[in-house]
Amino acid sequence: MKQKKKLKKLRITEADFMLANRRAARLEEIAEHGRPVSFRRSIHKSKKLYDRKRLKAKGFGSE
């Protein structure tokens, strides 16, 4: 006689639950606002401040 295959039981871990919850909240947010809402706003950087990277990119840094 053939042995029956054991079916794996589907186990939802806490991490899976959190991931699904976050995804659902994000989709809900996009549906409500039409786009993803970012809570972390970037701080405005003054153009007057000395910025070595920016100067180097423009070609002023290399002599």
Q: What angle do CA 24, 28, 32 make, to 5 degrees?
A: 175
Instruction: Determine the pLDDT at residue 61.
Output: 62
Contact (CB, 8 A) for 21 and 27: no
- Which residues, including other chains, have CB under 8 Å from residue 36's CB and lie 6 or more apart? 26, 29, 30
Instruction: Determine the pLDDT at residue 62.
Output: 58
Tokens of 27: 């989709």
Instruction: Determine the pLDDT at residue 1.
Output: 62
Which positions of the chain have pLDDT values less than 50?
none
Instruction: Determine the pLDDT at residue 18.
Output: 95
Q: Which amino acid is at 37?
A: V
- Condensed to tens digits (0 to 9), the pLDDT of residues 5-19 reads 777 788 889 999 999
